[in-house]
Amino acid sequence: MPAFIGSIDQGTTSSRFLIFDERGTLIVQHQLEFPQHYPNPGWIEHDPADIIESVEVCIKKAIEKFIKKGYSVNDIKAIGITNQRETTLVWDKVTGKSLYNAIVWCDIRTHDLVHELNSKSPLGAEVLKELCGLPITTYFSALKLKWLLDNDSKVKEAHDKGTLMFGNVDTWLVWNLTGGCNGGLHITDVTNASRTMFMDIKKLEWNEELIKYFGVKSDCLPRICSSSEVYGQVKTIESIKGIPIAGILGDQQAALVGQKCFHHGETKNTYGTGCFMLFNTGTDIVISKKGLLTTVGYKFGNEPTVYALEGSIAVAGSAIKWVRDNLGIIKEASEINDLASKVKDTGGVYFVTAFSGLFAPYWRDDARGCIVGITQFTNKSHIARATLEAACFQTKAILEAINSEFGFQLKSLKVDGGMTNSDLCMQIQADILGIDVDRPAMRETTALGAAMAAGHAVGVWESLEGLKTVNTQGRMLFSSQITKEESEQRYNVWKKAVERSLNWA
């Protein structure tokens, strides 16, 4: 009998539900954007109801398409979940109602709190990093939860009463899908837990010292599970009722799995709303000295935990959305490729997309976006091309950090995500990096990774070795077409542009 796996892919700007077969072929999908809320400069929020409702709509619509193709829902063996990480939600376990909008991962309202904690105890910040693998920045969930406890009376009251429930998006989805107030599971997986600053990166448990440091009671935290096991069944959506939820991975770790980076040194880069490079470090926990993040790569059931180093870029595809919505020089995101192709280069224009500061390897929350090198010659095509180049140059900075950390040169980079649909962008990336850029034909690798984790848990794929044949057809390699000297010259000018973006906030 055929076997299919469903995958919920809940991202920063949209939700999707996709169904794959056992070869990793995408059968159907449905996607729905949802509103973004910007109550103050640097603040980004989502309505938790929009998140769950958009997922429910996507599931229902995708199932309708699946049935119309002649397939049976009974053949969907499991569902995996992948999600925007660090985005922080709080709700009441009695009423099931959210107590505040979800604070999105790239929100920087905790800027002052970060500086307060770092200046109060620089040594303490280093101790924390040894425990959880993460620096104190606006990025992670612990700072967002502490801000909520300090600034919202409803959240503080629920925390004091013991009715507060906290989680990232994966936890909110699982709780709602498995019953909510009526027995919903309050869980997370190790990859999402590793992004909170509450988890001991070695023991994979909530750490009392970390919890106390941020002034949080442990009873509001979800139970930590592996990334691939049967957690429970869907109870609240009729069209998939009874199907087990069997995989959970943060979106970037899901892409690591979807790209089959199962061996030490294999690296992928995902170009989504932000841009995220993960380098598989195997079972070794590496605390970076080059501005990279130590994170859990994945853990399949009782198998050994695989770790990774991550370089995070806050703004990548969202810069294209900004060009579309704020500048209005394109009507659809896909048009940026054609517009950028009308010029052979940027005409000396560089766009540092530091809308919410700069993440790895800079970690400068005082940076702000800037476009430099503008002359009377500059037109909208130059701006479009500079927008694509921005993510490519920041990727180069992260790759340099990884190469420096390990003392070797990466030979190729596996890529996925929306921006990789642009051949021009991927050619620019190969030129700037000076190594091959390896793009799969089916680029929904984040959703595929969650499906692979779920399928592994229910026996569709019995081992990681069995996953090697998934999504192998039609890969495309982009190789550098410029000299190393030209690449370095352009990158050196980029670094000057980055300097101009600093010390604004």
Helix (H, G, I), strand (E, B) or coil at 404: helix
Q: In the sheet where 244-250 sits, what is the strand order?
A: 26-33, 14-21, 4-10, 76-83, 244-250, 228-233
Determine phi and psi for 215, rounding to 5 degrees: 70, 40
Ramachandran sector of residue 359 (left: φ over 0; alpha: ψ -120 to 50; beta: rest): beta
pLDDT the model gives residue 52: 95
Secondary structure of 210-227 in the HEC alphabet? HHHHCCCCHHHCCEEECC
The pLDDT of residue 472: 66
What span, in angstroms and rounded, lies between the C-alpha atoms of 389 and 495?
A: 13
Reported as a pLDDT band with limits 50, 70 and 90, residue 333 is confident
> Does residue 326 register a pLDDT over 60?
yes
Indicate the domain borders of the chain.
4-252, 260-439+475-505
DSSP 8-state class, residue 326 = I
Q: Does domain 4-252 have CATH number 3.40.50.1580?
A: no
Better-predicted residue by pLDDT, 59 or 291: 59
Mean pLDDT of 434-441: 90
Asked if 102 and 48 count as a contact pair (C-beta separation under 8 A), the reply is yes
The confidence band for 122, taking pLDDT boundaries of 50, 70 and 90, is low
- What confidence tier does 121 reach under pLDDT thresholds 50, 70, 90? low
Task: Kindly report, residue by residue over 25-56, the tens digit of the pLDDT.
Answer: 899 999 999 999 999 988 999 999 999 999 99
User: What is the phi/psi pair of residue 350, to 5°?
Assistant: -130, 135
pLDDT of residue 490: 93
Residues 6+ apart with CB under 8 A from 334: 421
pLDDT, averaged across the chain: 91
Question: Residue 268 is which amino acid?
Answer: K
- What is the identity of the amino acid at 33? E
Largest CA distance in the chain: 64
Residue 206 · residue 218 · CB < 8 Å: yes
Evaluate if residue 307 carries a pLDDT over 90. yes
pLDDT in tens, 458-471: 998 876 666 666 66
Query: 269, 117 in Cβ contact below 8 A?
Result: no
- 260-439+475-505 under CATH 3.60.20.10, yes or no: no
Predicted pLDDT of residue 360: 81
Give me the pLDDT at residue 202, please: 94
3-class SS of residue 83: strand
φ, ψ at 210 (rounded to 5°): -65, -45
Query: What pLDDT shows up at residue 27?
Result: 94
101's tokens: 């909008």
Q: Which residues of 79-99 are buried (b: 16+ CB within 10 A; e: fewer)?
A: bbbbbbbbbbbbbbbeeeebb
The better pLDDT of the pair 24, 102 is held by 102
Top pLDDT among 291 and 258 is at 258
Tell the residue number behind the tokens 């009998």, with chain if given. Answer: 1
- Residue reference for tokens 């101790």: 127
pLDDT-derived band at 409 (thresholds 50, 70, 90) equals confident
Measured from the Cβ of residue 486, the count of other Cβ atoms closer than 10 Å reads: 14
pLDDT digits (tens, 9 = 90+) for 123-145: 567 788 889 988 888 889 999 99
Neighbours of 472 (CB within 10 A): 13
Domains 4-252 and 260-439+475-505 share a fold: yes
The separation between CA 327 and the C-alpha centre of its own chain, rounded to angstroms, equals 26
pLDDT (average), residues 272-289:
88
Stretch 156-180: mean pLDDT:
96
User: Ranked by mean pLDDT, which of 20-34, 166-180, 333-347 comes out on top?
Assistant: 166-180
Give mean pLDDT, residues 163-182: 96
Residue 357 has pLDDT above 90, yes or no: no
213-264 pLDDT, tens digit per residue, is 999 999 999 999 999 999 999 999 989 999 999 999 999 999 999 988 898 8
Q: Evaluate if residue 118 carries a pLDDT over 90.
A: no
Mean pLDDT of 472-496: 89
